[in-house]
Amino acid sequence: MNITFTSLRKDEKEFFEKHLKEHSLKLYENPIDKIPLKDIKKTEILVVFVFDKLGRDVLSQLPDLKLIITRSAGVDHIDLDYCREKGIHVAHMPAYSPKSIAEHTFALLLNLTRRIKTAQKKEEKVDFSQKEDLLGIDLDQLTIGVIGTGRIGTQTALLALAFGMEVLAFDIKENPMLREKGVKYLPFDEIITKSDVITLHVPYTPKTHHLINKETVAKMKEGVYLINTSRGKVVDTDAIYEGVITGKIKGLALDVFEDEEILILKRFQEGKGSDKNLKILKLLSFDNVIITPHIAYFTKKAIENIKNCTLEAITLFVKGEDLGRFKVL
């Protein structure tokens, strides 16, 4: 079987070389837009990451393609309509790191509520004074609104309960276990208006595009904390920029953001950029804003799970078996 991997780290290359010796492998550290498609024209299985954009223009140049595996939970970077038309199977990693992402969500929240960034900046100037600008907030005094209670949102809600927070939640499908533990499901607009903290755990779809926008920010409490560890385009950069500038948003934490690949993959060195990037860079200068480079999933355990799950999905497909929990199409 001809298998192509893109966007690999060194440890991943070594792992797949060791475990897939019987196949014809092409292993690239670069994303697919940096790879000559003529070099991988015979690819039957394509294994990618979130920064590999698989539109019709790319996929149409891979006539032998039978299966796409993305080493991520989200599949918004893949043209699923084209895959349906051509009978190309699609697999993802649905449950490799819910706890990792939930823990990162709270790492971000605690950094905001305990003013860690402000403290570090002061200490860099040899200022170790204990003043009002370092006054923290106890989490059990806050109401958190969890938007999306799939695997990651559920873990986030459970952590919030452990911290003693009042937990509100919104999802098109409620989780009975969370209800039993005291989580209150409410309509989206109610959560937006009642929550001191709003954390996003939804997939990116046309319906969730700019779910957080100028209108939703206006409905939020004054001094709200907003956290996004889902997908960048769920949040309108312009709206949250204004929210921080005006003080409506007291604390902002982003692990994902619009046009993130330009900064994460250093595409600015190629002359690429956007006004959204400029606003992200400006937001970084604020003490009440924390931005991390799409690393909520990035733990040792999660990375091992991704490698093993990818190998399992390939093995199932080669054997002609159902892709089971990995199957998207």
Coil, strand, or helix at residue 166? Answer: strand
| Active site annotation includes 294 | yes
Given the residues 166, 231, 258, 261, select the one marked as catalytic. Answer: 231
Given the residues 12, 166, 260, 261, select the one marked as catalytic. Answer: 260
Contact 290, 257 (CB under 8 A): no
- Strand segments, DSSP code E, in the chain are 2-5, 24-27, 45-48, 67-70, 89-91, 143-147, 166-170, 184-185, 197-200, 224-228, 249-254, 289-291
| Active site annotation includes 260 | yes
Q: Is 243 exposed, middle or buried (0-12, 13-18, 19+ CB in 10 A)?
A: buried
| Active site annotation includes 71 | no
Strand partners, 26: 4
Q: Is 155 exposed, middle or buried (0-12, 13-18, 19+ CB in 10 A)?
A: buried
Catalytic residue IDs: 231, 260, 294
